[in-house]
Structure 1
Amino acid sequence: MKIRSPSLVELHAFAAVVEKGSFSAAAHKLAVTQGAVSRAVIKLEARFGYALLERAHGGVLPTAKGLSYYETIKPALDTLDDAAPGTSDNRRRQLHVRVVTSFGTRWLVPRLPSLAMEAPELEIVFRSYVANDDMLDKNVDCWIDLRRTPGARWPRHVRGTYVAGRQLLPICHPTVAAEIQRPEDFLRFPLLYHIGFPENWNHWLQSQGVKGRQLRLAAGFDLSANLIEGVCANMGVAVVPACLVEREIAEGRVSAPVPKTADTKRGYYLCIPRARENERYMELFRNWLLRQAQERLG
């Protein structure tokens, strides 16, 4: 029988370039020369008669046909790797994640023991957060980023999946909770706010029927985590993503005397390069993350 499939050398070289975004990074991953990777990809493209990769700003991206072919062959390559003697039981896979600081510390990190029990072969490595990230860094596998406006779009080369954080919830220090019975009662206290989203207070109050008020905002914070700590220190009241204060409410560090939320249509999204969204480890992390999100407060 005539063998029609390309060689594993060609397939691994092509897949590595798609995943790493450059021929040099692919060569480093495979422990071969850059020339060897280039020759393997050229041979593969010659076999098919069309381009599988194209040069792009900051690296190399698959063409539409290249992406489709990668998605077809990747599960088979993973299966062959897992079947290799002596690797399937002991191999650990690092997943490099870039995550919004407050969401990482308040929501994601406390849940990681669950991931370690469910998938001990997966090791999460956090990369420093970068605002307005173009998501082209090949040292990062996936991102958890904030959709900053309801109509914002992610870069075309990634797919964003909503995780949590759309719902705003007002919070206060437990010692003043009894004084807040209605939405407008919050206006009697200093209104702490996130400097990136100063409109959050107006958005929540209007959603509760409190309109036409001239708000006098108090202290501003650049991180939701610090904003929550400001409430814990009894500096004032704040409106924050409900998912970020689950622990503080459970521990009694803050109170939510008017437990009504408002939808911002923003929130935190898991962003995965389209060329890699069907990788086994990526699917494992995504599925775990979304299961955790179903248990959130808001």
Structure 2
Amino acid sequence: MKIRSPSMVEMHAFLAVSRMKSFKGAAQELCVTQAAVSKAVQRLEEHLGGIRLFDRNSAGAELTERGAELRKLTQRHVLALESAFESFGNLLQSRPVRISVIPTLGIQWLLPRLPQFRQRCPDVDIEMRQFRHDEDFTRDDVDFWIEVKRPHRKWPDHVQTHYLLGRELVTVCAPELKARFRQPKDLQSACLLGHTNFPDNWARWFDAAGVPFSPRLGPSFDLTMNLIVATKSGMGVAVVPACLVEMELSKGELVKPFDMEVSCGRGYFLCSNKDAPSFSAGDRFTDWLVEQSNHPSLALAR
């Protein structure tokens, strides 16, 4: 279908001049220059075949007969469209922020911080939605995802990402085990707990420590949360993202046998659909989230 209507810029300029009976007054109402209003009306007149919509005089601008007809036919519809977008915008601004978070990061890092966000933005509600390991980021019930960058995985083209945190790996163990490990090479004989999805974590750590490593891992777990619980129980030594054990380290439930961090090259990313409209609550939450990711510990984030 051939589109016959002009742009909304031209229609708003026309209606503003008709209301104010002045190009200067219309410019002030629309927060643009008088020249911009004049050019918009001129384009509209040309679009309509060169008809004159206003009689311009020293006192201002009066609608011509054809201009009055156009106003009568269009004003209600233009205002209705403006009202519809205003209502839609208000709906976006007031709705909750819906997020899907990889479980261990949600439990260990995000949830302990949410009271602080609630204190800062009491009018913004957060809804945690189910996390899916095979996420394709096409769900319409989620505004934002916090997901780990998995090996050999490309983000889909329709997704925009922002790195938050989690690249730094540290070794941790129960306090009673620490005395056994005086040098990094002492871990060669320890029970090394592994992560089934990231079996190279220990190889990265030993390589950074300059210690030969042969892949002799003990029990392995598919969730870092389970790995942390097993480590707290004294089952062995684990290498995990530092951000996931800040609570356990601050409480003394876990200790670092060696104060050394190693980059895993992955980390956790804030993901969203590039084409999704922004909304105030979402912008405030993501700004806060990025701010929190720059704090090394929960204690400093408060």
Q: 1:6 to 1:163 in 2, by over 3 A?
A: farther
Tell me the distance in 2 between the aligned counterparts of 1:77 and 1:126: 32
Letter in 2 for 1:217: L
Instruction: Tell whether the 8 Å contact from 2:96 to 2:281 is kept in structure 1 after alignment.
Output: no
Q: 1:279 to 1:174 in 2, by over 3 A?
A: same
Instruction: Tell whether the 8 Å contact from 1:97 to 1:127 is kept in structure 2 after alignment.
Output: yes
Instruction: Tell whether the 8 Å contact from 1:277 to 1:283 is kept in structure 2 after alignment.
Output: no
1:179 aligns with 2:180: yes
Structure 1 equivalent of residue 110 of structure 2: 108
Letter in 2 for 1:174: P
Q: Which runs of 5 or more residues in structure 2 are unaligned? A: 1-5, 13-81
Structure 2 equivalent of residue 268 of structure 1: 268
Aligned equivalent of 1:145, options 144, 147, 157: 147
Instruction: Tell whether the 8 Å contact from 1:93 to 1:121 is kept in structure 2 after alignment.
Output: no
Give the % identical residues. 33
Cα offsets for 1:174-217 (capped at 9, x unmatched): 01112222222222221001111111101111011113x31311
5 Å matches for 1:136-285? Answer: 136-149=138-151, 152-211=153-212, 213-276=213-276, 278-285=278-285
Residues 265-274 or 276-285, more deviating: 276-285
Aligned equivalent of 1:123, options 110, 125, 129: 125
In the alignment of these two chains, the number of paired residues is: 224
Instruction: Tell whether the 8 Å contact from 2:196 to 2:221 is kept in structure 1 after alignment.
Output: yes
Letter in 2 for 1:203: R
Instruction: Tell whether the 8 Å contact from 1:148 to 1:266 is kept in structure 2 after alignment.
Output: yes
Q: 1:77 to 1:187 in 2, by over 3 A?
A: farther
Structure 2 equivalent of residue 20 of structure 1: none
SS at match of 1:159: strand
Letter in 1 for 2:123: E
Alignment RMSD (CA, Å): 2.9
SS at match of 1:154: coil
Q: 1:253 to 1:79 in 2, by over 3 A?
A: farther
SS at match of 1:162: strand
Structure 2 equivalent of residue 286 of structure 1: 286
Structure 1 equivalent of residue 37 of structure 2: none
Tell me the distance in 1 between the aligned counterparts of 2:240 and 2:10: 53
Instruction: Tell whether the 8 Å contact from 2:194 to 2:217 is kept in structure 1 after alignment.
Output: yes
Tell me the distance in 1 between the aligned counterparts of 2:83 and 2:223: 42
SS at match of 1:204: helix
Q: CA deviation at 1:139?
A: 0.8
Letter in 2 for 1:286: T
SS at match of 1:198: coil
Q: CA deviation at 1:259?
A: 1.4
Instruction: Tell whether the 8 Å contact from 1:242 to 1:297 is kept in structure 2 after alignment.
Output: no
Q: 1:186 to 1:115 in 2, by over 3 A?
A: same
Q: CA deviation at 1:4?
A: 3.0
Instruction: Tell whether the 8 Å contact from 1:92 to 1:123 is kept in structure 2 after alignment.
Output: no
SS at match of 1:231: helix
Cα offsets for 1:31-74 (capped at 9, x unmatched): xxxxxxxxxxxxxxxxxxxxxxxxxxxxxxxxxxxxxxxxxxxx
Q: 1:283 to 1:245 in 2, by over 3 A?
A: same
Structure 2 equivalent of residue 61 of structure 1: none
Q: Which runs of 5 or more residues in structure 1 are unaligned? A: 9-75
Instruction: Tell whether the 8 Å contact from 1:170 to 1:258 is kept in structure 2 after alignment.
Output: yes
Structure 1 equivalent of residue 32 of structure 2: none
Structure 1 equivalent of residue 8 of structure 2: 4
